[in-house]
Amino acid sequence: MRQQCLLATLLAVLIAVIPGGVAHSRDTYMKTDASMYPHAPSLLQWEKSGADFTPPETCADCHPEKFEEWTGSMHALAFKDPVYQGELNHAVKEAGHEIARQCEGCHTPAAVVKGEIKGAGLEGLSDMALAGVSCDVCHSVKGHTHWQTPYHQPENGSLILSPGKDGPEGPELTKYGPNTPDEYCGDDFHQCVESPLHRSSELCASCHQVSNHETHTPLEETYREWKNGPYATANIHCQDCHMVETQTFKRSADALQKPDREEYHHYFNGANFLLYYLTELAARRAGDEELAENVHNKYTMAVERLQAAAALEITPVYRQEKLAEIKVRVKNIRAGHNLPTSLTNIRQMWLEVTATDSQGNIIMTTGSVDTQGTLPKDIRLFNSHTQDKNLEFTLNPWEAESFSKNDTIPPKGYKDVHYGLSLDRGTSVTIEAKLRYRQADQKLAEKLLGMVPGDIHLEAVYGIKEIPALPIIDMVSKTVVIHKK
Ligand code: HEC
Ligand code: HEC
Ligand code: HEC
Ligand code: HEC
Ligand code: HEC
């Protein structure tokens, strides 16, 4: 009896100390402290004063180059992005209006703290709200609460925004930047404060770590993947690959050498070539050749970045003197985090492999998309699967609580794929392997773009009557000839 009692107490204690342990009910999840995080489920904080946020067009007067680089970047598009707007619309319909604050806390933070959020759609919003992740979001970041969050790691916008303060003669703007300011810094428009945070990945962390809004379990973990990897140890931060030209990024990754001060630019270029492609279509339709040219360059950069990220190795495996298998090794050589990263349950990266014998007959082929844009079921996707509280597959971030699979490739790491292959005729076989990437499954993209709110007219803005076949990028390809032995 006594023993049973002890056991029960022990069990109860155990369950209490394992966060999110097996026996949890939804009431026992870590709660967000509402007094600390008034904009929950976003973890943004705002030091309110008479000093308001400033839209990017004003910063452009004195920082024209930065403005041009940022224009058309994923940060500038973060709120207007039709794929995002489609998903936001879906989220609000399924999970209720509250969820919008979580999303917008990263996709347009100033609008959240100012209470401008009305759900999906662009109508009636200020320039600052439409500008997404704009100049005055990042340069008003005074600090962060990364380690005070419910999960004790950066998540869901755990930043402190402070555009300025009330001074004796009215509001004074303060901008945080990477350098030690001289006396002319800010030209009477703003004061300057040196901020080591702006030279570090910690600035990017709270937005590039997405967690479930209730359970706080991480769903997108770019920062943590970086933090646990070799680049963090070598002092190579997000800025050193994403705020520089392609050549400089390759040097940061290969030589682990930090760029010089004058090499930084506000491109924030990643992998999302699809959105630049759509934005270029829209700009050409609107007759804005300057923007079209600008995003075309960003499209090229994104493709170049994807094509620099990975390498392939093909090795034959012989058993009893006979060719039995080929092994394809996919190496993440230049992504500072896992490859792919972030929305890993949606992005698609896979191998297409073809084996041709010496007479030119195709003896094996795998990984080709069909005419509907669908991938075969039996291939290895380097992606993740997210599941809800009943351990059922879901793609919806408001339902997803854990991973049932995560097959992404860590920084400077690799994954192997084996293909059974025997050679009956001829003496050699040619193996061609290609690593391919697209933003999403064709059907899923059609679904998301089909859900954009009524005030974004895909046909009028982008000239899209039906969703075109999503472009696929060949990241790297390799051909080798293998002998029978
Ligand atoms: C913690 C910050 C954060 C939160 C919260 C957040 N996002 Fe995002 N979201 C991001 C980042 C960063 C990316 C870009 C990742 C990438 O490109 O791989 C992104 C990308 C996306 C994309 C892909 C866009 C594209 O063009 O491919 C969609 C869709 C999206 N978010 C929807 C949402 C919705 C809906 C919510 C709320 C339920 C939400 N996000 C909440 C940070 C956040
Ligand atoms: C996503 C966050 C982010 C956004 C958005 C952003 N910046 Fe920056 N900015 C940074 C970071 C990080 C640095 C530091 C990079 C480095 O180490 O030089 C920086 C540096 C700067 C500097 C100092 C650069 C130098 O040459 O020494 C200026 C000025 C600046 N930004 C202005 C702007 C303007 C103007 C905009 C909008 C058009 C903008 N920023 C948008 C993050 C941002
Ligand atoms: C009236 C001109 C003027 C306007 C408008 C202006 N700035 Fe500046 N800013 C300057 C000058 C001058 C400097 C110092 C030289 C430089 O870095 O370009 C500076 C420097 C900076 C720095 C760099 C600090 C560092 O570490 O080197 C940041 C960040 C910055 N500004 C952000 C902004 C943002 C964000 C806006 C819009 C909200 C803005 N500025 C609007 C004139 C201006
Ligand atoms: C306030 C939140 C926020 C901050 C801070 C932030 N980002 Fe982002 N970032 C986003 C969002 C949201 C997106 C995705 C927009 C979309 O897909 O619609 C994004 C997109 C990106 C992309 C493009 C991804 C792609 O698929 O092409 C890169 C690269 C990036 N961010 C790098 C950075 C770096 C580097 C920093 C720090 C210097 C940073 N971000 C800081 C919110 C943020
Ligand atoms: C050593 C260089 C390097 C560093 C450091 C680095 N990245 Fe990347 N990043 C890449 C490359 C290469 C890609 C393209 C391949 C891919 O998608 O992973 C990429 C892609 C991305 C994407 C788009 C992912 C997608 O598939 O949609 C985001 C978002 C991103 N990085 C954010 C970050 C953030 C945030 C940090 C810092 C925590 C960071 N990166 C650090 C090289 C780097």
Q: Is 133 in the pocket of ligand 5 (CB under 6 A)?
A: no
Which ligand 5 atom lies nearest to the CA of residue 253? 1
What is the value of pTM for the model shown?
A: 0.94
Burial 410-434 (b: 16+ CB within 10 A, else e): bbeebbebebebebeeeeebebebb
Alpha-carbon distance of 23 to 18, in angstroms, equals: 10
Q: Measuring from atom 21 of ligand 1, which residue has the nearest CA?
A: 84
Task: Give the phi and the psi of residue 186 in degrees, each rounded to 5.
Answer: 95, -10
Is the CB of residue 459 less than 8 Å from the CB of residue 398?
no
Q: How much is the pLDDT for 29?
A: 58
Binding site membership of 406 for ligand 3 (Cβ less than 6 Å): no
Q: Residue 99: enclosing H or E segment and its boundaries?
A: helix 99-107
Q: Show the DSSP H helices in 428-481 as ranges.
A: 442-449, 458-462
Q: What is the pLDDT along the chain (485 residues), one digit of tens a residue?
A: 444 544 444 444 444 444 444 444 455 556 788 889 999 999 999 999 999 999 999 999 999 999 999 999 999 999 999 999 999 999 999 999 999 999 999 999 999 999 998 789 999 999 999 999 999 999 999 999 999 999 899 999 999 999 999 999 999 999 999 999 999 999 999 999 999 999 999 999 999 999 999 999 999 999 999 999 999 999 999 999 999 999 999 999 999 999 999 999 999 999 999 999 999 999 999 999 999 999 999 999 999 999 999 999 999 999 998 999 999 999 999 999 999 999 999 999 999 999 999 999 999 999 999 999 999 998 999 999 999 999 999 999 999 999 999 999 999 999 999 999 988 778 899 999 999 999 999 999 999 888 998 888 888 888 888 888 899 999 999 999 998 77
Q: Are 298 and 290 in contact (CB under 8 A)?
A: no
Ligand 3 center to residue 298 CA distance, Å? 24
Starting from the CA of residue 61, give the closest ligand: 3
Q: Measuring CA to CA, how many Å separate 243 from each of 104, 230, 259?
A: 23, 19, 10
Cα separation values, 333 from 308, 339, 362, Å: 8, 9, 31
Number of H-type helices and E-type strands within the chain? 18, 17
Residue 276's nearest CA partner among 253, 251, 305, 309 is 305
Contact 375, 430 (CB under 8 A): no
CA atoms within 13 A on the CB side of 265: 17
Q: What is the dihedral of CA 295, 296, 302, 307, to 10 degrees?
A: 180
What is the spatial distance between Cα 307 and Cα 305, in angstroms, rounded to a whole number? 5
DSSP 374: P
Query: By alpha-carbon position, which residue is closest to atom 18 of ligand 1?
Result: 342
**Amino acid identity, position 337:** H
337 CA from centroid of ligand 5 (Å)? 6
pLDDT of res. 2: 47
60 lines ligand 3 (CB under 6 A): no
DSSP-assigned letters across all residues of 35-58: TT-TTTTS--EE--SS-----HHH
User: Using CA atoms, how far apart are residues 365 and 363, in angstroms rounded to an integer?
Assistant: 7
Our answer on whether the CB atom of 203 is closer than 6 Å to any ligand 5 atom is: no
Q: Which residues contact ligand 2 via a Cβ below 6 A?
A: 56, 59, 63, 66-67, 70, 75, 133-135, 137-139, 177-179, 198-199, 203, 239, 243, 264, 266
